Structures are given as C-alpha cells and as structure tokens.
Homo-oligomer: A and B are copies of this chain.
Amino acid sequence: MSLPVGATIGILGGGQLGRMLASAAAKLGFRTIVFAPGEGLPAAQTASQHMDADYLNTRALQAFAAACEVVTLEWENVPVAALDVITAAGTDVRPGKTALDVAQDRASEKRFLESIDIACAPWREVDSLADLKGAIEEVGPDAILKTRRDGYDGKGQVRLKAGDDLNAAWESLKGAPAIIEGLVPFEVEISIVLARGMGGEIATYPVPRNHHAGGILRRCEVPANVSSATRAEAVDKARRLADALEYVGVLALEFFVLADGSLLANEFAPRVHNSGHWTPEACLTGQFENQIRAVAGWPLGPTDLLAPAEMDNLIGEDAQAPLSDLLQRGSLTLYGKGEIRPGRKMGHVVRLLRD
C-alpha cells in the first residue's frame, strides 16, 4: 500500500543519515518526524518535526506512531523493543524487526549470512578469556576482537597481532560478549548498496571500492575496478540477503575481495550507508531518495551512474581545512554537527570524474 503525496514518514535516529533522508523525503513532498533523544541533532535540522525522547519511552513512541503513516530508521541499533511499540500501535516500520535483530548482533549477523551461503571471514564467538585464547588458535593471531553489539566506526574493536596480550584485549571489552574475526589478505573492499521495494523489486547501485582506515570509511571510488564476475557475484549475494530478510528499504553489504576474485562478506547495514554517499550526485536517483521511495511503497528510481565518482569523508579535523579547499574538491555536504571531534564524521565531498 503506497503512501499518498504529503504523508508523514517517521525516522528513528537523529544523525546525518536521517538528515539526508529527511531532505530526500521533502523533495518528494513528504513530511518527516525524527524521533531521537537529544537537542540540535543533525536530522532534527532538516526534518519537519523532532520528537526528543528516549527510544524506550513507550508513550512518546505511541505518539510518534500515531503521527506517522510509516516509520523507517537511520540507525541499526535502535532497540527492537521500540519497533514493537510502534508496530503494536498500528504503524509499519520498514525495514522491520528481523533485519535489525540480525544486524544488531555480529554473531547472529554472520550466522545469518552463512545460512544463505554468503561466506564470511573466519570467526568465533568469544565470551571469556578462555574462548579468546582458543579462538586465536583457530582463526590465527592476526585478528580483530569486536563486541557483538553497539560497535560502529571502529568503536568496540581491538586489533590483535601475534604476541599481543590477550588478557588486556579481553579486559578492554569489559566483559561484553564478543566475536573474533581472522584477518583475511584481501585485495580491495567493495560494497553493494541496493534498494528493495515493497513488491520485492530491487535496484542495485554501481559498486564502489571502499577505503577504510582505523575502522572508518575514508573514501569510495566508483566504479570499483573488479571483474564483472566478482561484481555479479556480490550483487547476487546482496540480493539474496535482501530477499531472505524480506527487506524494504536500502541496505549495504560489505565485502572483502581476495586475490583470486572470491568474496568474503564483512557486515551488512540495514539502512542507507556511508559507502553510498556519492549516489545523490553521481546517480539518477540517490540512496536516500530510494530509501524513501521504498518505505513509501513508491516505485524505485533508476540507479544509473552519470559519471565515475570519488567520495571522501571529512572526519574530525578534515573539516577544519579552509572552506575554499573543501569546496574546490567537489560537491560538499556538511552534517550540521557543532563540535569537531577526532573520528567524528563531519561531512563528505563527492567529485564527478568527467570525460
């Protein structure tokens, strides 16, 4: 059932993704309400309305549900209990609870991927120091210890090398359930960003090559220089994931590409994704608009690439460069965050590479 023009779309989460979703929704004539605790949030600045309440505030969630024709999200760590309240109040949340449930726990995420034949790098659950010592034997000493929940942009992660003090690494997680992933010798990282509509139709974006540093995405180059077979396999896997989750909206699935062209999945995000931030400038329809179209039950827009493109994140002090330098680099997007902090995503720049 598709939303009428002028309907109100709720957005759970108040960051830059919600900010760009709200602007995309406005382009299509929708109103938006951002539900997120805090003041002066990036998304609150572009939404029609902001409800400043905790994600577990039942009464506020019910009022939010009553004011919205449909609810979507910009943050995968919204408590699933919030989705239950909204759904019980009679308003659909797209994507739904299943995708969040799976994505919020790195162990269930990897199990889900493997259950639909999407291979991941070797990994083990780690609930104790003893688990960690045993797992290292299996996945190898070059590994990353990650909390199962609530990590992002390299937070909640410890990089391990041979000879490292496993005790200290384990202590640093403060007893949080974790997984360990063996590092794989990949050539490049890519991601598939796709939109899946309410009728199951899928629109996939051109494939970016992603460059990370310190666990944070720094740069995308589109199209990635990978073989058409590798690209087709990655797209096929991402479509399989979206179908298996009966997904509605935009999702991103990240891959390591090994020297032989084979793929290992890293993780997926049940939302618009930083590795798709070049799409508004470089494609006929950006990821934010397609997320809105999908959750509104509208037809998806074409994702054709207008020109090869590069996207650079502005992280922390990157945003302190002279404005003229930033503007010189391409189309600038800033997120309306007041304080520059190390590792904080402040904006991004997209450059189209024309003939």
Interface residues of A (CB under 8 A from B): 2, 5-6, 19, 23, 26-29, 31, 45-46, 48, 284-285, 293, 298-299, 301, 304, 306-307, 319, 323-324, 327-328, 331-336, 338, 347, 352, 354
Other contacts beyond A5-B323, A23-B26: 13, CB < 8 A? A6-B338, A23-B23, A26-B45, A27-B332, A27-B333, A29-B335, A46-B46, A293-B327, A298-B323, A299-B323, A299-B324, A299-B328, A301-B331
Question: Known interface pairs A6-B338, A45-B31. Does A301 touch B327 (Cβ–Cβ under 8 Å)?
Answer: yes
With beta carbons under 8 angstroms apart, the residue of B6, B26, B332, B334 that contacts A46 is B26
With a cutoff of 8 Å between Cβ atoms, the chain B residues found around residue A299 in the complex are 323-324, 327-328
In the bound assembly, the distance between CA atoms of A284 and B327 in angstroms comes to 12
The reply to whether B28 and A332 form a contact with Cβ atoms under 8 Å apart is: yes
The reply to whether B5 and A284 form a contact with Cβ atoms under 8 Å apart is: no
Residue of B nearest to A31 (CB): B45
Say how far A351's CB is from chain B's closest CB, in angstroms: 10
The reply to whether B306 and A28 form a contact with Cβ atoms under 8 Å apart is: no
With a cutoff of 8 Å between Cβ atoms, the chain B residues found around residue A285 in the complex are 331
The reply to whether A48 and B48 form a contact with Cβ atoms under 8 Å apart is: no
The reply to whether A284 and B331 form a contact with Cβ atoms under 8 Å apart is: yes
Question: Known interface pairs A26-B23, A331-B285. Does A352 touch B306 (Cβ–Cβ under 8 Å)?
Answer: yes
Say how far A352's CB is from chain B's closest CB, in angstroms: 7
List of 5 A-B pairs having minimum Cβ-Cβ separation, nearest first? A29-B334, A26-B46, A45-B48, A23-B23, A29-B336
In the bound assembly, the distance between CA atoms of A19 and B6 in angstroms comes to 14
The reply to whether B352 and A284 form a contact with Cβ atoms under 8 Å apart is: yes
The reply to whether A298 and B327 form a contact with Cβ atoms under 8 Å apart is: yes
With a cutoff of 8 Å between Cβ atoms, the chain B residues found around residue A45 in the complex are 26, 31, 48
Can you pick out 10 interface pairs between chain A and chain B where the beta carbons lie within 8 Å of each other?
Answer: A5-B323, A23-B23, A23-B26, A26-B46, A27-B334, A31-B45, A298-B323, A299-B327, A301-B327, A306-B307
